[in-house]
Homo-oligomer: A and B are copies of this chain.
Amino acid sequence: MGTPARGSNDGHTLGELAERFGVDVRGDASTRIHGVATLARAAAGQLAFLANPRYRSDLERTGAEAVVLREADAEACPVPCLVARDPYATFARIAALFDPTPALQPGIHPSSVVAADATVDPGAEIGPFVSIGARSVVHAGAYVGPGCVIGEDCVVGPESRLVARVTLVTRVRLGARVLVHPGAVLGADGFGLAMEQGRWLKVPQLGGVTVGDDCEIGANTTIDRGAMDDTVLGEDVRLDNQIQIAHNVRIGAHTAMAGCSAVAGSATIGRYCLIGGGAGVLGHLELADRVTITSMSLVTHSIREPGEYSSGTPIQDNRSWRRNAARFKQLDTLARRVKAASKDTE
């Protein structure tokens, strides 16, 4: 199936692509590319890539017009190829040429409601049914898609893009080129409560959210605003869908978090961390730079050293699991017995 090369009907020759992206051609440099596809499904006119060795077996049978790959794989390639040091990155750059996302159409849709003291740059596009609150600012080249709600004192930085139905509640400041997917909610009240005489007392959440340049925030992800200081994402932080970032959290630059992971209040995550899907980090902890947490692990203490960390138990057939899980409840007793026995036999 692949992807139609909409808006680029003439395509690009391998020679043009090689020059543009600084890679080498093997085979006919006049080969013309009209779109991209996976190695297994690519057809005539389409470019595929090989980066992960597990897909090498797809190479010889590929229907692709050409393939981006490493030097070491070039010999085995039955069609013309682009030889790159990092085929996946090169492919990503080429694929962007075929991305049919519509170009920005500056202006404010007549249905939208913009506060009198808000500022929208004439070079920004505001879609239908958008509401922009007092003192908020939308910079040039920004896109605020249909149904977005921007509250008071927010900033949408230059070339940032709120795809649709994004909410910036209040005091949310996005840097440049921030991409926010539908349903994300930034700047809602942090979960601050004090128990007083048997009832919860709400603690006002007076801080904001600061998001660095080049961040990406997934669909239905939530980032609460700080209680007093801001919740902060460094530059180039990448958050997948349905992630929960509590108030006062700080996430270092270039950290990536997979879907459904969560960070509790006032935790600090380092730079270049990788947080697996569904993983959790408790509040007030610190993670060093370059810490990797595997999927669905729970971090219950600060981690000072880079490296990979995990919790949980392996998946098993339910019958075996039940037997082992029942024994987990006896584990301390078991260990004491072994210890005692080993003393006996010493």
On A, residues with C-beta under 8 Å from B are 1-3, 35-38, 41, 86, 88-89, 91-93, 95-96, 98-102, 109, 111, 113, 127-129, 131, 134, 145-147, 149, 151-152, 163-165, 167, 169-170, 179, 181-183, 185, 188-189, 191-194, 196, 198-204, 206-207, 214, 216, 218-220, 222, 224, 228-230, 236, 238, 240-242, 244, 246, 254, 256, 258-260, 262, 264, 277-278, 280, 282, 292-301, 303, 307-332, 334-335, 337-338, 341-342, 344-345
Contacts and interface: CB of A to CB of B under 8 A. Distances in A.
Contacts of A88: 194, 203
A275 B158 CA distance: 41
Contacts of A313: 311-313, 325, 328
21 contacts: A86-B194, A89-B194, A91-B203, A95-B206, A111-B111, A111-B113, A183-B222, A185-B219, A191-B259, A193-B256, A200-B238, A222-B259, A240-B244, A262-B277, A278-B278, A282-B295, A310-B318, A311-B314, A313-B328, A314-B328, A337-B338
Given A324-B330, A341-B345, 18 more contacts: A38-B228, A92-B192, A92-B204, A95-B204, A95-B228, A96-B202, A96-B204, A100-B206, A151-B164, A198-B254, A240-B246, A244-B277, A260-B260, A262-B278, A277-B280, A324-B331, A330-B335, A334-B335
Given A229-B41, A244-B241, A320 B329 contact: yes
Contacts of A222: 183, 218-220, 241-242, 259
Nearest to A332: B323
Given A309-B316, A341-B341, A98 B188 contact: no
Contacts of A101: 170
A35 B113 CA distance: 31
Contacts of A331: 323-324, 327-328, 331
A63 to B, nearest CB: 14
Given A196-B86, A238-B191, A328 B328 contact: yes
Contacts of A86: 194, 196
Contacts of A189: 179, 181
Given A167-B164, A329-B324, A92 B202 contact: yes
B311 A316 contact: yes
A89 B241 contact: no
A280 B280 contact: no
A325 B307 contact: no
Contacts of A294: 318
B37 A228 contact: yes
A202 to B, nearest CB: 7
A345 B99 CA distance: 69
Nearest to A134: B102
Contacts of A238: 191, 193, 200
Given A264-B259, A341-B345, A308 B315 contact: no
Give the one of A282, A295, A301 with max B CB within 10 A.
A295
